Amino acid sequence: MTVALDLAPADTHTDAPGLLTSAYRRLVSLCEALEVRVTEPRRMHVVGDCLTESQDAVEAFVAAEAARIRENHGHTAPRHVAASRALHDYAWSVGLLMSGVWYLGRRVPRIVPEDIRVDLASGAFVLTPGSHLTCLPDDPATALPGVRTVVREEDLRAELRDAVADHMRPVLAAIGPYTRRGSRALWGLVADDLVSGIWHLGRVLGEEAAAVRAASDVLPSPVAPYPGGAGFRTLRTADGQEHPTRTRLGCCMYYTIRPDDACSTCPRTCDAERLRRLGG
């Protein structure tokens, strides 16, 4: 069972951007790992670069990530590793902004690349809420101008998948060549980050099992352009407790920076190591 988003009533907002501003700020307050600053709707001047604007913007984005890796880990990452790490952070953050609003409030916003700016100095993302929002017919938000409705929960999940894919398609075209990875691997990374964002939010809220079910409903199997489903399974520790896990479809390349500390969902991390980390 999911938790309703603690938003102001829809009738206190005159448009979708105002409603989404509240939703995003609440989501950011819940997830400390989500480094996003939400600006006022229709703000004209936002500091930072949009990744799809120019090759210079992408190169600055990758260079900034390489600098952070050097500072935080004392490691000089090749450009394709820095690009993969930067893309992973971007996909996870943007995916969670959309999936988090869906998970908490059964509303799907559409974020276009131009709504996201990258603050290279801090690594944070700056989001200016747009006006595209889809919800179910019984949602009070349907009274707001421009809000679109769909009939079924599955339609809303399909809208979430499409919204994330539509956002990421031009971003992958811009940064993909820097990662030295093919289309399937790139879309696998996007699928992983869509699933893991929902999973992370569920853990933050203390309802991991519900979030695992929700993520599995969003990606039950391969759905184009995503090459695979959520693919959760369970591991049982020595105390008899079951813990959800999954194996990533695409690699985030963290193992190249910290070889002895690969992600717990990395294909390189065997079940025995996962159990060791779980204390079992």
Q: How confident is the model over 93-146, as pLDDT tens digits? A: 999 999 999 999 999 999 999 999 988 888 899 999 999 999 999 999 999 988
**Proportion of the chain above pLDDT 70, given as a percent:** 92
pLDDT computed for residue 49 by the predictor: 63
Neighbours of 258 (CB within 10 A): 11
The sign one gets for the Cα dihedral 145, 13, 207, 166 is positive
Q: Is the predicted pLDDT of residue 197 greater than 70, yes or no? A: yes
249-272 pLDDT, tens digit each:
988 898 999 888 888 999 989 999
Measured CA to CA in angstroms, residue 272 lies from 23, 29, 121, 150, 253 at distances of 40, 35, 39, 44, 21
**Pairwise pLDDT comparison (218 vs 3), residue with the higher score:** 218
Q: How far apart are CA 140 and CA 144, in angstroms?
A: 8
In the 8-state DSSP scheme, what is residue 212? Answer: H
The pLDDT of 8-37, averaged and rounded, is 85
Q: How far apart are CA 195 and CA 89, in angstroms?
A: 14
pLDDT computed for residue 46 by the predictor: 43
The pLDDT of 177-196, averaged and rounded, is 97
In the 8-state DSSP scheme, what is residue 9? Answer: P
Q: How far apart are CA 165 and CA 191, in angstroms?
A: 9
220-257 pLDDT, tens digit each:
999 999 999 999 999 999 999 999 999 999 888 989 99
Among 126, 99, 72, 125, which Cα is nearest to 211's?
A: 99
